[in-house]
């Protein structure tokens, strides 16, 4: 019999109505936001090279998925992050090219900020 999958990370997205202040966050390591894009990665126990990427988004104002404009902005900001932080190589060059093309087209993303995974 196969052993059940084990996961080192859990997460939960909670909608607050009415919205809460940062001071009302009581769980250590938790942060708050207006909208959220997440990517969960599941690796195969049989072959770690096999991965499944699950994408989700939530707009806190509407309770629905984020708009294309917001998703595009998040993607452009992530491209900026990768262009600045990846080790040298073709992937970093590709990210830098994407950022350059977006800037030339007038689609500049807000400069990224990185929040540590263990909280601010």
Is 117 contained in some domain?
no
Is 5 contained in some domain?
yes
pLDDT tens-digit series, residues 52-110:
999 999 999 999 999 998 998 888 888 888 888 888 889 889 988 888 888 887 765 55
Q: Residue 57 sits in which domain range?
A: 1-66
Domain count, the chain: 2
Cβ neighbours of residue 96 under 8 Å, at least 6 residues apart? 83
User: What's the pLDDT at 108?
Assistant: 59
Q: Is residue 39 packed enough to be buried (19+ CB in 10 Å), middle (13-18) or exposed (0-12)?
A: exposed
Residue 119 clears pLDDT 50, i.e. is over it: no
Question: How far is CA 2 from each of CA 8, 19, 41, rounded to the nearest angstrom?
Answer: 19, 43, 21
């Amino acid at each position: 019999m196969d052993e059940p999958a084990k996961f080192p990370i859990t997460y939960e997205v909670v909608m607050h109505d009415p919205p809460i202040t940062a001071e009302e966050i009581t769980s250590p390591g938790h942060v708050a936001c207006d909208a959220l894009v997440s990517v969960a990665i599941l690796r195969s126990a049989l072959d770690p090279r096999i991965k499944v990427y699950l994408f989700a988004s939530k707009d806190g104002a509407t309770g629905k998925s984020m708009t294309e404009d917001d998703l595009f902005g998040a993607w452009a900001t992530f491209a900026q992050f990768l262009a600045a932080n990846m080790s040298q190589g073709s992937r970093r060059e590709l990210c830098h090219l994407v950022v350059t093309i977006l800037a030339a087209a007038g689609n500049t993303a807000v400069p990224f900020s990185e929040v540590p995974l263990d909280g601010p």
